[in-house]
Amino acid sequence: MKKSQKILALIGTNIPRVDIQEKMTGEALFTDDIQFGVKLLYARIKRSPHAHALIKSIDTSRAEKLPGVRAVVTGADFSGRIGLYLKDRHIIARNRVRYIGEPVAGVAAVSEAVAEKALDLIQVEYEPLPALFLPQDAIKPDAPLIHPDLGEYEVVNFIFPKPGTNISNHFKIRKGDMKNAWKNCAAIVENEYYIPHIQHVPLETHVAVAKVDLSGKITLWTSSQSPFAQRDLIAKTWGMSPADIKVISPYVGGGFGCKAGVTMEALPVLLAMKVKGCPVKLRLTREEEFYTNFVRQALLIRLKMGCDAEGNILAMENTMYWDGGASTEYGVNITRAGGYSSTGPYDIPNVKTDSYCVYTNNTIGGPYRGFGMSELHTGIEQCVDELANKIKMDKVAFRMRNVVESGDILATGMVMHPTGIKACIEKVAEAIEWGKPSEPSAPHKKRGKGIALMWKAPAMPPNPGSSATLKFNSDGTVFLSIGGQEIGQGAFTVAAQIAAAGLGVPMDWIRISKPLDTDYSSYEWQTVASRITWTMGNAILDAAKDARKQIFKIVAKAWKENKKDLEIKDGIVYSTNTDKKISLKDFVITGIPKKKDQGWIGGPIIGRGKFMPTYVTGLDKDTGQGKRAVVHYTTGAQGFIVEVDTLTGKLEIIKAVSAFDVGKAINPDLVKAQIEGGMVQGISSALFEQLVFKEGVLQNPNFVDYRIATTMDLPDKMESYYIEVPQDDGPFGARGIGEHPMVPTIAAIANAINDAVGIRLEGPPFTAEKLFMAIKAQNKSVD
């Protein structure tokens, strides 16, 4: 067997997750008295009833006197601002509130009931200010400023706020000659789409416990995708060393982006500072989870696209207004990601993009699975369909003609790497029998087929790092220390597979060190952006390489052989030249004895690895041009067959098909699980989900009024495929697949609806009521 075959024996294998997790070390329990003791206090937060107002005064004296209350905090207790990309948010509001639900005071008490009672005793006097709820209103020159001090905020160098306006980031692309490009177009389409706010709705709401010991060291237990980012952000905000803050994060009960960065986690820290030695626990209610935490930003997108008579797309103008809400500390990078990906996966020579992140007085917008790509592609892929219709060209053929390929110069000036997107299109088209009619189940029902493409790059700073440590035990087993979080996607399983394959040991020798603990776990920027398999996997391979180097040095010296002639398989080191072999368990801790008892060779083996993409370059502020905007793109396609009841508007998905180029499927079953799960989440956002605001007040902050897809809503037939065109900078060629499957879903369903009944709605959700009214209006216009 060749060396490469030996290493890859565990890669591309369906290792069940349970087999890995049964062998992992014990988990810290989030149980109150057992873990945190009888000193545990419970926090509740008083929140603003106004969308925009000045705080004239706060009186906490009655709350402080209530029996059982141990601490009360307000914005006066801490003046620093916090934020990942743009520091525009106070932990507790100071002087001004900017959305309904913004914290204005916090209480720690012996029970949640006492804390709630104390909140009622806090008196806050407000002076209401004009509020803005639509980005198109907030960008007007005479609009009241939501952040008058925007010009003073600390911001990273790739985000471009416009002080004196409500625009917190403006990302631009200017490529080609737009004026002359339109003259050469045989067909042009212009459309506007609106994609609403939705919620992540993790089954586990946000929860955090903070404790400050007598020396001032902070320990924070969080349900988090970002323990290291949380540590670093809180440390910087407080002016502390990261070494004085410890963040512990057990398994996460659903994240989807809302548990990235810092949202509510700093609140119990602020309270804990007033009651040193006592842990303080804050748990969001389901209603609070809906309207006080990150939501997916809404998007108003205006598109103009043109092609020549042969169907070659010549030009695109894309203007996006992202509703960032009251704080855009994370959302500004969604705007940037939407900007550099603004053409979708198409080769377009002339591009003008303006991507605006706009402050409003809505709930804070933040990262959501797909990081803006679902919203962006909802517009682009419907526009592509319309353009194909206008020149009477088959929609699949139109996409195949224009889709991006290896070597193409992208809108940012980056050269596209090899991609299997054409194979994805062909797979989906074949599976839904594109071009063949699908017979409806009844005369009053109509069927249609729709397809949509996607691409997505890991949206992150240019230099996010990963690290890993492999530490051998005396029996040959290995503790793998990583900082990537397990949020249900199988990150720990894939990490163990990569480690085992990289080292050359059996799978059951690998133990993941957990829970994540910033004092002891290896560093990881965040578990976001579908980057963990790629970046953490590279760090693990680097650690395995380091360990193997040490192992071969020891054995080569003991056997007097060339290191190049040594290999490891199933935990056994052997020589390819001789019949010598030795088990790792016999020497990785104790070493190998020299002949005649003349000492020892070796010592404990610890492999250390790291990875950081060093090749991403900056982009010009005015043109968006640069050598390499992103590390890479994952590409794919989805297709749907739908049936619409013309009497009721009810929509049924008959068949759903996905195909994505994953580079290399480390664990095929987990890849397919991500594809299916993402598609279902996409279906939910397409058919049911929308946060309904009225003057900034959320009308549906519960599962009664906010509908998500259940098993009853799933298509009878779902097919998932993956293509493997290796990524040059990925572990074994792998790239991410966590977010991508929900990116094209809304557009593909919208295109299928249009194919069925000739209707195109302004945006999701595509409810039965909306479809019924549109069909009714269509029938009236025909009459």
> For residues 713 and 723, what is the distance between their CA atoms, to the nearest angstrom?
27
* The CATH classification of domain 368-460+633-782, taken from the options 3.40.250.10, 3.30.365.10, 3.30.450.40, 3.40.50.720: 3.30.365.10
Tell me the residue length of the chain.
783
Tokens of 316: 């695109």
* Residue range 39-129+206-283 in CATH 3.30.70.1560: no
Fill in the DSSP letter of residue 555.
H
Q: Which residues pair with 127 in a beta bridge?
A: 54
> For residues 654 and 431, what is the distance between their CA atoms, to the nearest angstrom?
12
Which segments in the chain show pLDDT lower than 70? 1-9, 16-33, 783
The reported pLDDT for the residue numbered 14 is 83
At 265, is the secondary structure helix, strand, or coil? coil
Do residues 223 and 204 make contact, with C-beta atoms less than 8 angstroms apart? Answer: yes
> For residues 115 and 275, what is the distance between their CA atoms, to the nearest angstrom?
15
Q: Before 515, cis peptide (omega within 30)?
A: yes
Do residues 479 and 607 make contact, with C-beta atoms less than 8 angstroms apart? Answer: no
Domain ranges of the chain: 39-129+206-283, 368-460+633-782, 464-611
The reported pLDDT for the residue numbered 17 is 54
Q: Decide whether 39-129+206-283 matches 464-611 in CATH topology.
A: no
User: E strands of 594-733, at which residues?
Assistant: 600-601, 606-611, 634-645, 651-661, 693-694, 697-698, 717-723
The CA-atom distances, in angstroms, between 62 and each of 43, 116, 251, 380 are 17, 13, 39, 56
Fill in the DSSP letter of residue 32.
I
> For residues 666 and 664, what is the distance between their CA atoms, to the nearest angstrom?
6
CA-based torsion, 91, 97, 102, 106: positive or negative: positive
Cβ burial of 724 (10 Å; 0-12, 13-18, 19+) is middle
| Residues whose CB falls within 8 Å of the CB of residue 228, separated by 6 or more in sequence, listed in order | 247, 483, 518, 523, 524, 525, 526
pLDDT tens digits for range 479-492: 999 999 999 999 99
Assign a CATH topology to domain 464-611.
Aldehyde Oxidoreductase; domain 4 (3.30.365)
Whether this prediction's pTM lies above 0.85 is answered by yes
Q: Which of 126, 119, 32 is nearest to 72 (CA)?
A: 119
pLDDT tens digits for range 600-654: 999 999 999 999 999 999 999 999 999 999 999 999 999 999 999 999 999 999 9
The reported pLDDT for the residue numbered 454 is 98
The reported pLDDT for the residue numbered 31 is 56
Three-state secondary structure string covering 579-627:
CCEEEHHHCCCCCEECHHHCCEECCCCEEEEEECCCCCCCCCCCCCCCC
∠ CA 99-101-107 to the nearest 5 degrees? 135
Going by DSSP bridges, is the β-strand pair 280-283/581-583 parallel, antiparallel, or unpaired? Answer: unpaired
Q: Which residues pair with 300 in a beta bridge?
A: 194, 321
